[in-house]
Structure 1
Amino acid sequence: MLILPTRRQVLGGFGASALTLGSGGAYAFIVEPRFRLALTRYGLTPPGWDPGHRLRIAVLADIHVCEPYMPLDRVAEIVAATNALAPDLILLLGDYPAGRKVTWHRVPLSDFARLAEDLRAPLGTYAVLGNHDWWDDPEAMRAGKGPVEIRRLLEARGIPVLENDAIRLTHDGRPFWIAGLADQEPFRPLGSRQSLADLPATLAQVTDAAPVILMAHEPDIFVKVPSRVSLTLSGHTHGGQIRVLGYSPVLPSRYGQRFAYGHVVEDGRHLIISGGLGVSQVGIRVGVPPEIVLIELGGEPPAA
C-alpha cells in the first residue's frame, strides 16, 4: 500500500534539507577556509640526509592575504602558531596576495610583510614566489622581469626571496642547501606559458655533496628534479580546496591527482605538497583545511 506523506512531513523534510545545505555551505564557505587551522606533520629521512641530523622545518604556502578570507588578524594567528612550533627553519612557498575573485577588500602587502617579519627561527625565514605574486604586479608582468612588489617588501623585512638561487646553511655542524626556483607560470594572464624557473642553473650553485632541499611553488617541476635533491617542497594546488576520500576533483596541475597533495615518493625522490592556507578562484574549502606543515627530518633510517 502506498502511504503518502502529510503536508507537515513534506514541509519538515524541505526544512531539514535546507538546514543541512545551509549549515554545509556555511562550513565550506566560512568555517573551514576562515577559521580552521590544521597542523600537518611529516617525519622522514630522505635519501642523502644524515639520519643523525634532526631538523624541524615549518612550511607556509599560499597565504593569499585578503579580506574576508585572510585578514591581518588571521595572518598574525598563523605567525604565532608557527613560532610556537619552535622550528629551526621557516620556508614560505609563494602566493602571498589573493586573486580578485576572492578579494572583497584588498589588504596592503606591506602590512602582510610587516607581520611576516615576526616569524622566528634560528636559521631564518626564506621565501620563493608563486604565480599570484606576479599576477598581482601587472607592471612587472608586462615588463617580463622583476622584482615584483612582494619580493621588495619581504626583503626589506629581512626575508630573502630565492629565484633560481641556492644558499648553504649549517645546523648542528652539518651543512645543507636551500634552493629556490623562480615561478613556473608568471605570465599566464598574458597568454604566455613561459616559465622563469631554471632548475639546472639553480642546482649548479650547489658546490658540494651536502643535501639539497628544493622550494618550488608549483609541483609539476618535480618530474624533472634529479635524485641529487633530497626533498622538494611545493604548494600551489591547495589540495584542490575540495578533497573527499583522497580525491580532489579540480586541480591546477597538468598531472592531476599525481601531484594533488601530501607526501609523494617517486623513484626514491621525495615531494611534499602543502594544502596551503588561503583560497583562490572561489572562497571554499572542504576536506582540506588551511594548514601549517611541520617537517621533521632525521631520526630514522633513510627512506627508500
Structure 2
Amino acid sequence: MTFIKYVTACAGACLLWMLFNAGRTNVVQEELVVPSLPAPFAGKRVFFISDIHRRSVPESLTRKAQQADLVIIGGDLLEKGVPYSRIRRNLRRLKQIGPVLFVWGNNDIEKNTGHLLQLFEEEGVTVLENSTYTWQIGGSVVRVAGAGDRRLSVDPLLLQHTADTEPLFLAIHDPAAIWHIKDRSRIDAALSGHTHGGQIRIGNLSPGEPAGWKYRFGFPLLISSGFGTTKLPMRLGAPVETHLIKLKSRS
C-alpha cells in the first residue's frame, strides 16, 4: 500500500509539473546572422510567436519583447472554441510590441476565416497568404514571405518574383511544407512552428520533431516549440518558447 501511495504521489507531482510548464512564459533571446542584411537593419529585432492555441498573451510577455521592431505570428493563433474576444485581446497585446504579420496554421481554419479576416483588418494585422511583406527602412528593404492560405495550400511559385539582391525571410506554420516551395535558394532564414517540440518528450520519445534552429535547404530554419499546447495542457521536455531575434550582418 505504501508503494502504491508513493507511485500515486509521484504521478500527481509529475502531472502538476507538466501543467505548470505549459503555463510558463519564456522569451528566448537569439541572434540571426544574415550576410546580405542592409546596414539599417543591423540590430533590429523580430519577435516570433507560434501556436498560441487557447492561451492568453500576458502583459508580462509584451514587456519582455518591447525591443522588437516586427512581430510574426507563425500560425495557430487559436483553435476551435477560443472566443473572438480572446483573439482580439491577444492581437492587441502583440500590437503593443510592433507591426504584426500573420500566417495561417491548421487550427486557425477551424474558425470562420471570413470573420477572422475582418478581425485582422480591424486590428491592423497583415495577413500573408502566399504573399510578401515589404519591411522598409529608408531606401533599404527586407522581404518577409508568408507561405500558405486559408486552405493551407502553399504556392510553389511564391518566391518566383522576389529579388535576389534583397534579404528574404520565410514565415510558415508547418516546416514540412517548405518542400513544396521552389526557388528555396532565395531564402535567408525561415521561421516555423506546428510541432510544439513534441510537447511531451521523454528522452528521444515524442510524437513531434524537437524544436530549435536547424540548417536545412541551405538556410537556417527555426522550428519553435510554441507558446501554447494542443489536446492536453501539459509540457515535458519541450518548454514554452517565443523568440526575440536580433538581426546581424556577417561583419
Q: Normalising TM by the smaller chain, what interval?
A: 0.7 to 0.9
Q: Structure 1 residue 81: deviation in Å?
A: 3.8
2:121 is paired with a residue of what secondary structure?
A: helix
Residue identity in the other structure for 1:220:
A
Number of residue pairs the alignment of both structures matches: 247
TM-score (norm 2): 0.86
Equivalent residue for 1:180, pick from 146, 153, 171: 146
1:133-152 alignment to 2 at 5 Å?
133-137=108-112, 147-152=113-118
Which of 207, 212, 216 in structure 1 is aligned with 2:172? 216
Q: Which consecutive unaligned segments of at least 5 residues does structure 1 have?
A: 1-10, 100-105, 138-146, 187-194, 252-256
What are the superposed Cα offsets for residues 225-252 of structure 1, whole Å, 9 maximum, x if unpaired?
512111111111111101344x35202x
Instruction: Give, in whole Å, the separation in 2 of the partners of 1:262 and 1:165.
Output: 25
| Residues 5-41 of structure 1, C-alpha deviations (whole Å, 9 max, x = no match) | xxxxxx333322221111001111x21112x112223
Following superposition, which runs of at least 4 residues in structure 1 exceed 3 angstroms of deviation? 46-52, 81-84
Find the structure with the greater CA-based Rg: 1
Counterpart residue identity of residue 141, structure 2: P
Structure 1 residues 284 and 115, CA, compared in 2 at 3 Å: closer, same or farther?
A: closer
In structure 2, the gaps of 5 or more residues are none
Preserved contact between residue 37 and residue 289 of structure 1 (Cα < 8 Å): no
| Bigger proportion of residues as strand | 2
Partner of 1:88: 69
Question: In structure 1, what is the Cα distance between the partners aligned to 2:191 and 2:211?
Answer: 11
How many angstroms does 1:53 deviate by? Answer: 2.1
Specify the alignment match of 1:243 in structure 2: 201
Whether 1:48 aligns to 2:14 is: no
CA shift for structure 1 position 207: 4.4
Q: What amino acid is the match of 1:76? A: P
Report if the CA contact (8 A) 1:49-1:230 is conserved. Answer: no
Aligned-residue Cα RMSD (Å) equals 2.5
Name the CA distance, whole Å, in 1 between partners of 2:59 and 2:17: 20
Q: Identity of aligned pairs, percent?
A: 27
Whether 1:18 aligns to 2:8 is yes
In 2 relative to 1, CA 268–90 (structure 1 residues): closer, same or farther, beyond 3 Å?
same
Aligned runs of 1:271-282 on 2, under 5 Å?
A: 271-282=221-232
TM-score (norm. length: structure 1): 0.73
